[in-house]
Amino acid sequence: MAEKRFHKKGFTSFLTAFSFLIMSITGIILYIVPQGRIAYWTDWKILGLTKTDWGNIHLVSVFLFLGAAIYHIYLNWKALMNYLIDRVKKGINMKSELTIAVIVTLFFTLSGLYLIPPLGYLVDLNKYIKKSWVKSKEYEPPFGHAEELSLKVFAKKMKIDLNPAMEELKGKGIVVENEMDSLQKIARRNKTNAMNLYVIMKKFEHKEIETGIVYTPELVEEKFAGTGVGRKTLTQVCEENNIDLNLAKKKLSEKGISTKEGETMKEIASRYDKLPMDILKIILVENYKP
């Protein structure tokens, strides 16, 4: 019985189809995942895979798809060139199809760049889905990449009494082998997440009452950098930091900056070609000139 010959073109077709399927599925998953800070803080997973896992698979599948496509062109190079040469000889009879294809491609590209309706709404939907994962304030980490800090350093930064916090964790069945282990490592070892560890320890956190503080641009940077000011609304920032909302709006108005209900600090800042931290400095620093 003759040995079956390996069909390179068939193999390439399967490879292209499978890589496209994986690329599409992972792309859809990445469209709905929570924002990075939320995903890592809550150790978000779907089908047992984290945001990073899905991102890695998507990246690799893109390269697999490109490799398969290039190999497909290589195997069919002669036929492809003959087709193109034949078309050139006869004259391109699909000018309208080519024009429409270019227009559609440009429209999709520009819609993503300039958020042109209706395709621009897909970006808005993406933002809405990502924000919907935040069900309570605990879902927001106190600062960026907090889960990567060791328990000891995190406690010190958050002014948490470590000894009673460790006892509280132990009482909740959380095993801490080493206080220098990251929150993420401790959480995963105990089949939970960094957010839940913080919720348990939060009662031992000492909140400093700031009275009569005089802010400078440097002090604003030092205190608020990495706390996610940009993703919060002006109302949220004011409530969390005991700032008079009306006074904040007045100071912004004096600088020619208007605000809309539900608008994030980043959205306000972007409209005036500024950074969220500039908006905060206008509110907190006397006579600040961005």
- Digit-coded pLDDT (tens) for 9-43: 889 999 999 999 999 999 999 999 999 989 999 99
d(CA 16, CA 144): 38
Using alpha carbons, list the distances in angstroms from residue 4 to 7, 8, 10, 15: 9, 12, 13, 19
Where residue 214 falls among pLDDT bands split at 50, 70, 90?
Answer: confident
- Write the CB contacts of 207 (distance below 8 Å, at least 6 apart in sequence): 159
Phi–psi pair at 160, nearest 5 degrees:
-105, 130
Where residue 210 falls among pLDDT bands split at 50, 70, 90?
Answer: low
Element (H, E) at 62: helix 51-75
d(CA 207, CA 14): 60
d(CA 95, CA 117): 27
d(CA 248, CA 65): 51
For Cα atoms 30, 35, 39, give the angle at the middle one, nearest 5 degrees: 90
pLDDT above 90 (res 83): no
DSSP string, 190-222: TTS-HHHHHHHHGGGB------S----HHHHHH
Query: If you count them, how many residues does the chain have?
Result: 290
- Write the CB contacts of 152 (distance below 8 Å, at least 6 apart in sequence): 162, 179, 180
Residue 242's CB is within 10 A of a number of other CB atoms, namely 9
Q: In this predicted structure, which of 149-153, 168-172, 193-197, 217-221 has the lowest mean pLDDT? A: 217-221
What predicted TM-score, i.e. pTM, was given to this entire model? 0.74
Q: Are 24 and 30 in contact (CB under 8 A)?
A: no
Nearest residue to 193 via CA among 158, 155, 238, 146: 146
How does DSSP classify residue 150?
B
Q: Model confidence over 95-145: pLDDT tens digits?
A: 787 789 899 999 999 998 888 889 889 988 998 898 888 888 788 898 889
Q: What average pLDDT does range 262-287 have in this prediction?
A: 91
pLDDT at position 139: 87
Phi–psi pair at 243, nearest 5 degrees:
-105, 135
Where residue 211 falls among pLDDT bands split at 50, 70, 90?
Answer: low
pLDDT above 80 (res 89): no
d(CA 286, CA 10): 70
| In the block, residue with structure tokens 């706390």 | 227
Q: What average pLDDT does range 53-63 have in this prediction?
A: 97
- Write the CB contacts of 12 (distance below 8 Å, at least 6 apart in sequence): 68, 71, 72, 75
pLDDT at position 207: 66
pLDDT above 90 (res 93): no
pLDDT above 80 (res 215): yes
